[in-house]
Chain A
Amino acid sequence: MKLLNCALAIFLISFFNISTTYAQSTGEIHGNFQADVQYYIPDTAIGADTIPEKMLMNSFANVIYTKDKFSAGVRFESYHNALLGFDSRYVGNGIPYRYATYKADELEVTVGNYYEQFGNGLIFRSYEERGLGLDNAMDGIRVKYEVCKGLFLKGIVGKQRLYFTEGEGILRGFDGELQVNETFKKLAEKKTRVILGGSFISKYQAQPTGAQYVFPENVGASAGRVNIIRGNFRLTSEYAQKINDPSNDNGFIYKEGQAFLLMTSYAKKGFSLTLNAKHIDNMGFRSDRNATTNDLIINYSPAFCIQHTYLLAALYPYASQSNGEVAFQTEAAYKFKKGTKIGGEYGTEIKINYSGANSLDTAHLNDMESSRKGYKTNFWGVGDQLYFRDFVIEINKKFNKKVKATLVYSNQNFNIDVVQGKDGKPNILSNIVIADITYKVTSDKAFRIEMQSFTTEDDHSGNWAAGLIEATIGTNWYVAVFDLYNYGEYTDELGHKGYADYNKIHFINASAGYIKNANRISLGYGKQRAGVFCVGGVCRTVPASNGLTLSITSSF
């Protein structure tokens, strides 16, 4: 590993100076940089603790060299120390990501680190999501081979990144994809396009000494998928299975896991309709059976819920339940044409989305002292327990050359007990209304106002209201002020009344930014409430904080 790091460093340094001038003959160097710094002020009213270092920083830089069919890169990361809410094992400096890859005819070889996904990720997805502090990059080798036109094979072997170390388990896997219309000449002109895929992955982790159970050292998972496209219609489906994989996720049961995905969509100009459904059963899959939080996750379950961008709609984000869920999502979008009654002068877009998830329909097995399968699942059933529902209407309308608006209504039902593990709290029913109005003063000056409301009677955190005023000045500057306010009463399950957790507290945030070409610098000050932040159904807990933030991003 050290040797590879050294070789890469020497290699990159020797090319650094000649990157632009001789780009044609010697290749190119690109990269990007980001630093997030926060200065923390203790604030007992919102539960923001004293941070001994006072200031924390997350930072990284990528440097990538490419020449023809060869590329190599490194990522330097620096945490002094990790920002609040990120795992403290992100500490100090390091080069956790370095790779070299080349392509020779049908063969592509990558050594070092890489990200990869098989199909929809049901059995394997190695990816990075900085906002979550999630990075399960592989370290090992990857080989891709194009057997013949339309038939692709991928093979991977390696270990997963665990902060500045690697997980214990070894992953071995392959994926094959056949683009039927490409491979078989007779089908080349057919209107229906079909893509078939199959994948398999196995993890190895040794049996620990003195373990309470006999563990499977090699755990395999396989998946098959199909993709059918005909005209405006598209269907994607995948089925995956995993053999016995006792882990901390599933309470060390030996039940097989399975997952099924169905995603259909129809789209034509001005109209689209999607319908998605999934069944996930005991699919928690990590390269260390004892891992927790977002550590060493091997696979991924696509999120079937709207990823809300407005804060109060995202107050209770849904996290995919890898242990088991039946979920659905349907969305219809329609654009009323210009000149019609609803469409007005510029047209009006309406989007309706309904998504939800329930528990599995299971029957408990009393076998924890013998086969430890835990439970039996009725594949076609839906369990009684509601995990979440979200009904959303979004209207986008441009009134005239200066004013446009987005109106969002969301009705949510969120099971905080299951999704966030907060015992004893009921499902939280809430209504969220958001208005977002942009007023363009001149071609490069604009004001934007957001008004948001979140009301509920079920949660200790009560009602919330939020407002934002943002001004964009010229092409380079923006200034924004945001206030989040908590108010109201609640009645708990025993009928006791109380005030909202942060009753009558203003979480004020002010920020300003400067953007020029590839550089972006922003400075902010404000209070952050404790909560949960999710990307694609994978979540991170965000503790309360109060302080000054500085963010710099740049690329070359």
Chain B
Amino acid sequence: MKKIFLFASAISSFFFYSCDYVGNPIPPVNANLDDTSTCNAPTFPTITSHVKKILIEDYTGHTCTNCPNAARKLEDLDTTYDGQIIALGLHVSGYALPNAGSTGGPSGSYLNDYRTSYGDAYDTYFQISNAGLPKGMVNRTPYNNTTYTHRKNWWEWAAAVTSQLGQAPKMELQIINDFNATGQKLCSHIKAEFLTANTGTFKLVLLLAQDSIIDWQFDGGVNDSTYVHRHVLRDAITDKWGAVIATGNISASHSIITKFAYKIPNDYKNIPVDMHQMYVIAFVYDAANYEILQAEHEKVIP
């Protein structure tokens, strides 16, 4: 009898834990998205000289003592390759928890939460913070979810950038932002033009980043209350995995123009927004291997 009871309890617990009930199948839509019908189409300038731009994602956290080294490397690269680096800081993992006291900082320090569901999703999918921070990705390439070759230490970034910049640009990406300060409504117009013939599915992702936020950072064992956090991811305008802009056999010079409307809130998780420091970051990637074809950024208020 005892044996039967043991089996029965093992089996019934299996019952409860092996079912996922989905109440709402539709992924949540960003409440900040707005109506695009009043966004007037701009004229995109003709570009004849194409430049490859690279997205560098710096996965970081405010209590991660070595992370500022990566941030400084990113600034170096930005200076070296002026205009070709699109930088993005993503606060993820336990290092990004609002966590007073863990570094010996004073009360009231490290209470802000810079994490986003989008950053967390990328972190989980690309297995970044699992291997310890700081880590990052350069154009999310070469993607391999077994050996994680896309996950790079900051001292490996420079080589990856050189290698990426050695390739001819496959796409021209333009952003024209139109911001109405009264309603805080941002109309973001995107033009993506393929420069070479391509086959596959290509997705466009639009993110919103805030530059130069001054807040606590544990930097080389020191609690710094005036650390400048650069290019911090605050929200996504598209889905985190983007929207398909082209699929199948795509000819060179094929172009797509699309627009997004977004109402910028006054704060995210009670961390104030400075409209003059807000950037739209756009990139297009190949859905087959996540490699970013082209990236761009543009200030919300020029």
Contact = CB atoms under 8 A, between A and B. Distances in A.
A176 B17 CA distance: 19
B248 interface: no
A151 interface: yes
B241 A214 contact: no
A211 B125 CA distance: 14
Interface in A492-521: none
Contacts, number: 72
A254 B4 CA distance: 35
Interface in B1-35: 3-4, 7, 11, 14-15, 17-27
A118 to B, nearest CB: 13
Interface string A424-463: 0000000000000000000000000000000000000000
A475 interface: no
B80 to A, nearest CB: 32
A244 B21 contact: yes
Nearest to A210: B241
B203 interface: yes
A213 B27 contact: yes
B11 A244 contact: no
A210 B25 contact: no
A43 interface: no
A212 B27 CA distance: 7
A220 B15 contact: yes
B298 interface: no
Contact of A371 (B18, B23, B125): B23
Given A202-B19, A370-B24, A371-B25, A210 B203 contact: yes
Contacts of B21: 216, 243-244
Interface footprint category on B: 20 to 34
B65 to A, nearest CB: 32
B215 interface: no
A147 interface: yes
A151 B287 contact: no
Contacts of B22: 214-216, 244, 246, 254
Nearest to B205: A210
A147 B18 contact: no
Contacts of B4: 147-148, 151
Nearest to A153: B7
A246 B7 CA distance: 31
Nearest to B203: A210
Which of B4, B7, B25, B203 has the largest number of chain A CB atoms within 10 A?
Answer: B25
A210 B24 contact: no
A317 to B, nearest CB: 35
A191 to B, nearest CB: 27
B242 interface: yes
Interface in B148-184: none
B100 to A, nearest CB: 34
A344 B248 CA distance: 72
A211 B26 CA distance: 10
B19 A254 contact: no
A209 B241 contact: yes
B18 A174 contact: no
Interface in B26-62: 26-27
A174 B25 contact: no
A210 B242 CA distance: 7
A244 B22 CA distance: 7
Interface in A144-199: 147-148, 151, 153, 172, 174, 176
Interface in A197-253: 200, 202, 209-220, 222, 243-244, 246, 252
A214 B117 CA distance: 15
Contact of B20 (A153, A209, A218, A222): A218
A202 B4 CA distance: 22
Nearest to B23: A371
B286 interface: no
Interface footprint category on A: 20 to 34
Contacts of A246: 22, 25
Contact of B24 (A176, A212, A243, A371): A371
B120 interface: no
A214 B26 contact: yes
Interface in B212-252: 239, 241-242
A92 B21 CA distance: 41
A488 B25 CA distance: 52
B89 to A, nearest CB: 22
Nearest to A217: B20
Contacts of B203: 210
A217 B20 CA distance: 6
Which of B17, B22, B125, B239 has the largest number of chain A CB atoms within 10 A?
Answer: B22
A369 interface: yes
A209 B20 CA distance: 18
Contacts of B20: 216-219, 243
Nearest to A178: B4
Contacts of A202: 14, 18-19
A153 to B, nearest CB: 7
21 contacts: A147-B4, A174-B11, A174-B14, A209-B125, A210-B241, A210-B242, A212-B27, A213-B26, A214-B22, A214-B24, A216-B19, A216-B20, A216-B22, A218-B18, A218-B19, A219-B19, A219-B20, A222-B15, A244-B22, A254-B25, A369-B26
Interface of A: 147-148, 151, 153, 172, 174, 176, 200, 202, 209-220, 222, 243-244, 246, 252, 254, 369-372
Given A210-B242, A220-B18, A371-B25, 12 more contacts: A147-B7, A200-B14, A202-B14, A210-B203, A210-B239, A211-B27, A214-B22, A216-B22, A219-B20, A222-B15, A254-B22, A370-B26
